[in-house]
Amino acid sequence: MDKLVIEGGRPLSGSIRIHGAKNAALPIMAASLMCEGQVQLRNVPRLLDIDVMLGILSRLGGVAVQQDDTVILDASGANSSHVPEDLMKQMRSSIFLMGPLLARFGEVCIYQPGGCAIGERKIDLHLRGLAALGAKIEENDHQIWCRAVRLVGNDIHLDFPSVGATENIMMAAALAEGTTVITNAAREPEIQDLQHFLNAMGANIIGAGTDTITIQGVASRTMRV
């Protein structure tokens, strides 16, 4: 097909149901690792990336299933902080697991998402943000290890407003000691959705939707729904 020909002048009517946003669902699914108890997310689209995230959460030891447009998660039994390489390389958004796994277990092992290099896909912003909270970063061959005996709040300025880096820092800082302030933060709607979800679990976060987000850490390895 070389072109579309559209003849206007006719009234339009009808209705359509808008599915939930994948970009909001994926970080919230990752954040479920930080709480004890069952999480239900409704109006979640049925997409490959959602299936991959469900697979990762299941492999980490949690319960993760989708029934129609409802995702049911329970990470109470999660027992691993090592993200499976085969699944991580299927989805860029698997990088969202760094913050919650580090906050819960004190360490996380990931691989290059999609097999790309750090400098090419700007994973460095994620790593620098977590390092500012006290994580030690080690890169060994194609693995990246982040470890922290404890996470401590800090003032973190992002070189550019990365959505993923903002979300990873928010999740890790939610269980850190003290206050974290992210400046030049991303402002996208999914940032606000993540803030609402984390606060519903007991976090103390304000500012999502602006360029400054303040996170007052809560003293627990996990939160509750």
* Helical H segments across the chain, by residue range: 22-31, 48-59, 85-88, 98-105, 118-121, 123-132, 163-174, 189-200
The residues, any chain, with a CB within 8 Å of residue 134's CB and separated by 6 or more, are: 148, 149, 150, 151, 152, 154, 176
The DSSP symbol for 210 reads B
Instruction: Look at 2-16, 113-127, 167-181 and tell me which has the smallest mean pLDDT.
Output: 113-127
Structural domains of the chain in order of their starting residue, each with its CATH number: 22-220 (3.65.10.10)
Mean pLDDT of 4-22: 89
Residue 168 DSSP symbol: H
pLDDT at 29: 97
pLDDT score at 112 = 77
In DSSP terms, 111 is beta-bridged to: 143
Q: Distance (Å, rounded) from C-alpha 130 to C-alpha 102?
A: 9
pLDDT in tens, 72-91: 999 999 999 999 999 998 88
Looking at per-residue pLDDT, the higher value among 36 and 178 belongs to 178
- Mean pLDDT estimate for the chain: 92
- pTM here? 0.89
| Residues assigned a catalytic role | 116
- Per-residue pLDDT tens over the stretch 90-143: 888 889 999 999 999 999 999 877 644 444 556 899 999 999 999 999 988 789
